[in-house]
Amino acid sequence: MRTLNLGILAHVDAGKTSLTERLLQAAGIIDEVGSVDAGSTRTDTLDLERRRGITIKSAVVSFALGGTAVNLIDTPGHPDFIAEVERVLNLLDGAVLVVSAVEGVQAQTRVLYRALRRLGVPTLVFVNKIDRTGARTDALVRDLAAKLDPAMVAMDTVTGLGTPAAASRPRERDTAFDEDLLEALLDDELLDAYLAPADAAMKRSGMSHVAHDAALASAFAARVAQAQAHPVHFGSAITGAGIANLVEGIRRFLPGSEGDPDGPLSGTVFKVERGPAGERIAYARLFSGTVAVRDRIHVGDGREAKVTGISVFEDGADRPRPRAESGRIVKLGGLGEVRIGDAIGQPPKLRTEHFLRPALETVVAPADEQDRPALHAALTQLAEQDPLIGLRHDEARRELSVSLYGEVQKEVIGATLAEEHGLEVDFRESTVICVERVAGAGAAAEFIAKAPNPFLATVGLRVEPTTGRGIDFRLGVELGSMPFAFFKAVEETVHDALREGLHGWQVEGAAVTMTHSGYWARQSSAHGGFDKSMSSTAGDFRNLVPLVLMAALREAGTVVCEPLHRFRIELPAADLGGVLAALAKLRAVPEPPELGGGRCILEGTIPAGAVHGLGQRLPGLTSGEGVLESVFERHEPVSSGLVPSRPRTGANPLDRDAYLLAVARRVTGN
């Protein structure tokens, strides 16, 4: 049986969880559609999700569609939980992007669509809420074409728009429909056949009208499969209007995939939760091969684990099975310290798409100081489930910090700590997370047995800027010049050390080349035992690299960059002056406004740290009528007089004496 791993994605409140309920009802999995407001939906299983009426964690539910097994993945819509969406994108065979017929294309809609397009995920658009006052169809399709992709084709006709009786039926195969398909296809051969006089064209080509229509439909389906065209369906998840048309569109345009069950095992972990006994349970997509209970498999960086339990998603539930084959989404037990992003078996070749890391950070403090160890353990567990929480422990200040996408996520973390761990906490005001980019080139080296180097290792490093975001480690020495374990220690320590640059922020966009290497081979004392005083170890390289790397980085220099968001504000035109004045104080850069009908649309960029303040001030500036949307756009250098520093979490290699003292204490245990 073919498998279709289908993602439901949308801007918050567009109705994707309600749509999931309708699809499950249409498939016969549930008899009654659950309500987001009542907290009775199938996929929002967390108490917090039910209370707030938003999706926080991705959820999987399954049903059969003809001869295809569909794994339906409901994802969060709120931008504070974009990391959950990121982890799902690489799993998908297809997606349904939900857009409100009233609100239309919103900030998160654009972010999600761009990611789907870059990854080549075949995508259908479902325009929801056609029963709502203010719903649009033709105008909304034009907006979709203008703001997302020109190759949007309406597949349905809507009657009773904006009323409870709104209905949707498939479009007639008429001239207008054919023209829409041709415009989306941009196929010269099909266009010539269409534009030529019908009888002459058919006679020349030997093609009947029916065959021509079939060729046009087939070409459109192929373009959809390549994520280069997008069918648009209309309906209402609340009333059920248009759901049958959408199901038919999924069946027709998103056929799913078949993996190779006899191939090598290959999969990826996208979610981790805790079982009843506190054990980790991994959610994974299998791209190839077969896994069975009691199999010993490679996980993550190559560690071996024994599978103790397998569940697959079938008919609306996860069911224990002795084995699972490629294409499936499975729950695996027994994988020990498994983490999100770990490979199962051979690492799969994933389409890569990475949303930027969270832009905010906050210090979390226990209400009762005696709970600090328990708080550290609880936050560590939360970081297992969401690596982008980015837990930082400042030992000197005894502070725990977590990374955030927004203030709603802060509320969720606080509620989770209280409900699941019995911990009451306080949050400090959120601060912006900056990054450091390398400004120029710099190099440094320290040699074994030469002052001031106290370690039995030779390390030379050169640092240069790159155009990317990651850290590129390169070898400028021969691989055989010392044991591979020592090279591995250098590379790992380079990545660890660059988490805190000259100003304490993570360094991005750098190439680090190892220019010098050297070690002392293993020596034995007179009694035949290993003599550490004459033999290099991986620890010597791990201790020396931060000193050399920071010296090279100091010579190269870094530029601190802050995150900028792109904002969009809809407001009454009469309030434009007051809003512009507020934006100027917040260091925002607005673009010329769009005016019409007494309303105004204002777009531009604003420092991420000012977004929350703008959101708080906007209602008062616009008599409650202003609507703000914002998404991350880029990093830009901070003004010279505003460069912020961040406290380091451990020994500071920029202070050589203090660093060496900390290393000595760690080695001796004092």
Centre a 10 Å sphere on the Cβ of residue 333 and count the other Cβ atoms it contains: 19
Helix (H, G, I), strand (E, B) or coil at 302: coil
* Burial state string for 137-174 with b = 16 or more CB within 10 A and e = fewer than 16: beebbeebbeebbebbbbbbebeebbeeebbbeeeeee
CB atoms within 10 A of CB 344: 28
Q: Using an 8 Å Cβ cutoff, are 315 and 363 in contact?
A: no
95 is written with which tokens? 């997606």
Q: What pLDDT is stored for residue 141 in this prediction?
A: 94
Q: How far apart are the first and last CA of the chain?
A: 62
Residue 197, Cβ density class (10 Å: 0-12 exposed, 13-18 middle, ≥19 buried)? exposed
Take residue 310 and report the two structure tokens written for it: 């397998």
Chain centroid to Cα 123, Å, comes to 17
| Secondary structure of residue 571 in the 3-state scheme | strand
What rounded mean pLDDT belongs to the chain?
Answer: 85
Tokens of 80: 């504070």
* Regions of the chain with pLDDT less than 70: 1, 34-57, 76-84, 86, 187-212, 351-356, 385-388, 523-532, 640-641, 669-670
Apex CA 131: angle with CA 129 and CA 137, to 5°? 70
- Backbone φ and ψ of 668, nearest 5°: -85, -15
Q: Are 233 and 157 in contact (CB under 8 A)?
A: no
Instruction: Cite the DSSP H helix spans in 440-512.
Output: 484-497
> b/e for 448-459, b at 16 or more Cβ within 10 A?
beeeebebbbbb
Whose tokens are 């100027």? That residue is: 584
Distance CA 234, CA 226 (A): 22
| CA–CA distance, 79 with 73 (Å, rounded to integer) | 17
**Which burial class, exposed, middle or buried, applies to 367 when counting CB atoms under 10 A from its CB (0-12, 13-18, 19+)?**
exposed
Please give the structure tokens belonging to residue 263. 């191939």
CA separation for the pair 525, 532 (Å, rounded): 9
Q: Distance between CA atoms of 431 and 563, rounded to whole angstroms?
A: 12
Return d(Cα 396, Cα 409) in angstroms, integer.
27
Query: What's the rounded Cα separation, in Å, for the pair 90 and 459?
Result: 38
CA distance 117 to 51: 33
C-alpha span between 446 and 544 (Å, rounded): 8
pLDDT at 550: 96
Dist CA 394 CA 449 (whole Å): 33
Q: Residue 428 phi/psi, 5° resolution?
A: -80, 170
3-state SS of 401-435 is EEEECCHHHHHHHHHHHHHHHCCCEEECCCEECCE
Q: How many CB atoms lie within 10 A of CB 133?
A: 9
Q: What are 72's two structure tokens?
A: 């339906």
- Which backbone phi and psi does 606 adopt, to 5 degrees? -150, 140
Q: Compute the half-sphere exposure of residue 96: CA atoms within 13 Å on the CB side of its CA.
A: 33
Q: How far apart are CA 231 and CA 619, in angstroms?
A: 37
Give me the pLDDT at residue 202, please: 47
Distance separating alpha carbons of residues 307 and 320, to the nearest angstrom: 13
The reply to whether the predicted model has a pTM over 0.75 is no
For residue 38, the 8-state DSSP code is: T
Amino acid (one-letter) located at 389: I
- Which pLDDT does position 44 carry in this prediction? 47
